[in-house]
Amino acid sequence: MTYMNTLLEWLRRQVNKMNNSEQKAFEWLKKQGYKDNEIIFRRRDTPDFICSDNTRFEVKFLYKDKIIFHGKQFEQMQDNDYVLVFDRDKFVRKFKWKDRDKMPFSINLVSPNRKSVLVSDQTWKDLTLLRLDFGVRTYAKAIEELIKTQKENTHDRQ
């Protein structure tokens, strides 16, 4: 097996490890003129892709009107890095990191001490009702009360 065949085989395995947005971004980069062997995918690093010309791309999924960065990602982004935003399977926008404040959507930072959970619209409505029922101000408190109630009910059954 030649070096090029080995490299292409490794690249195929990396593509199989990409999430849907990363796969779409990989295809988008190829449409921009990059060849397979000019695109390096970094599965557990930021940015997701570095191309042979040293252009760096981070891939983000649009959640309604926001994209989410975790603390380390936010720190590792450089002004000239590009962010590729996808909504489901559709490419939405490319922007430079230094221009993030000019985007029509918000960029949320999830700190290492906080966790985020994506919920459906119906679950969000249910949580809102629970928050009101429990008489608490935050969704976190509503969830804590729900867990406490569940534990009490489980303990009572034993």
Digitized pLDDT (tens) for each residue of the chain, 158 residues in all: 577 667 666 665 555 678 888 889 999 999 999 998 899 998 788 999 999 999 999 999 988 888 988 878 888 999 999 999 999 878 999 999 999 889 888 888 777 666 667 777 888 888 888 888 888 888 788 888 888 888 888 766 66
Which pLDDT belongs to residue 48?
93
Which pLDDT belongs to residue 12?
58
Which pLDDT belongs to residue 113?
67
Which pLDDT belongs to residue 10?
62
DSSP-assigned beta bridge partners for residue 93: 85
Give the residue carrying structure tokens 């309604």.
64
The angle, 0 to 180 degrees and rounded to 10, between the axes of the packed helices 121-134 and 139-157 is 80
Which pLDDT belongs to residue 128?
85
Q: Is the pTM value of this prediction over 0.75? A: no
Which pLDDT belongs to residue 125?
84
Which pLDDT belongs to residue 158?
64
Whether the Cβ atoms of residue 27 and residue 17 lie closer than 8 Å to each other: no
Give me the DSSP letters along 89-106. TEEEEEEEGGGGGGSSSE
How far apart (Å, rounded) are the C-alpha atoms in residues 153 and 133? 17
72, 75, 76, 78 alpha-carbon torsion, rounded to 10°: 160
Which pLDDT belongs to residue 157?
66
Which pLDDT belongs to residue 139?
79
H-helix or E-strand spanning residue 76: helix 71-76
Give Cβ neighbours of residue 112 (< 8 Å, ≥ 6 apart): 70, 71, 72
- Using only C-alpha atoms, the chain has a radius of gyration, in whole angstroms, of 21
